[in-house]
Amino acid sequence: MRKIRVSRYSGSETAVGEVASINGSKYIIYLYPERYPEISIGDILLIDSGIYHPIIVVDENIHRARREQGFTPLHTGHDELKEIYPDADRLYIYAISGVNVAYADEKGSVKTGFGPSPRLHDFAYDMEEEDKERLFLDEGDTPNFTILRYLLHGARDPILLREFIARNRDVITKLGDEREVFSAFFNAITEMNLGDAFLKTAIDDFLSIMGWRE
């Protein structure tokens, strides 16, 4: 069954940030400064939005001064700056953008595709590996990479796909037999008609990252 434990994603203590902006299937999450180093492109986050829990894949890191022309080189590193100005993090924005690829309902049932939009300030969480695994399985618990259609629908970005595979390699490894998993990946990529060059790069990257080359 494609179910995750949504009850574990609740409250501010384990959240990595909050929803700051929504534009179609793209969300901006403002991260808490102390959690920013933990989140990378390709990571999977879940948003607690009450009944529904949108699931996104990080596609961009954003780190800048809060005000235009608010950054000035100070000839000092970040750690040294924090020693001088302990509240320095308040001057900067720590954020990511993410693509909506799936959502879970209040019972934890996972559906691939664009779900109901979250609300501003809804908490975002780094998903647990055992829950991420459910995103790569169909109702019969066989490998399925349909979420790639939603990850890549806005841009043919082989680098994003590569980072997604790399950040979730351990999860993909647990899906089952190598041939079965690769077949599911190959079918998903082929059905999107992204072109021969993209297909070749995607297959080469997948096999290389998974360590399945002979």
User: How far apart (Å, rounded) are the C-alpha atoms in residues 24 and 214?
Assistant: 42
* 3-state helix, strand and coil shares in percent for the chain, rounded to the nearest 5: 35, 25, 40
Average pLDDT over residues 11-33: 94
Domain that holds residue 105: 6-210
Query: Mean pLDDT for the chain?
Result: 88
- Do the domain assignments include residue 159? yes
The pLDDT score that the predictor gives to residue 87 is 64
- Let me know if 59 is exposed, middle or buried by CB neighbors in 10 A (0-12, 13-18, 19+): buried
Strand pairing category for 123-126 and 53-65: unpaired
3-state secondary structure of 121: coil
- Do the domain assignments include residue 1? no
Share of the chain above pLDDT 90, in %: 66
Q: Does residue 1 register a pLDDT over 60?
A: no
User: How far apart (Å, rounded) are the C-alpha atoms in residues 121 and 60?
Assistant: 19
Per-residue pLDDT tens digits for 61-92: 988 776 665 666 666 666 776 676 666 666 77
The pLDDT score that the predictor gives to residue 162 is 96
Please tell me the pTM assigned to this model: 0.89
Number of structural domains in the chain:
1
Average pLDDT over residues 38-53: 95
User: How far apart (Å, rounded) are the C-alpha atoms in residues 213 and 32?
Assistant: 39
Q: Does residue 134 register a pLDDT over 70?
A: yes
Find residue 94's DSSP bridge partners. 63
Average pLDDT over residues 25-33: 94
- Residue 193 is given by DSSP the state T
- Do the domain assignments include residue 68? yes
At position 192, the amino acid (one-letter code) is M
- Do the domain assignments include residue 179? yes
Q: Does residue 115 register a pLDDT over 90?
A: no
The pLDDT score that the predictor gives to residue 156 is 80
- Do the domain assignments include residue 33? yes
The pLDDT score that the predictor gives to residue 71 is 62
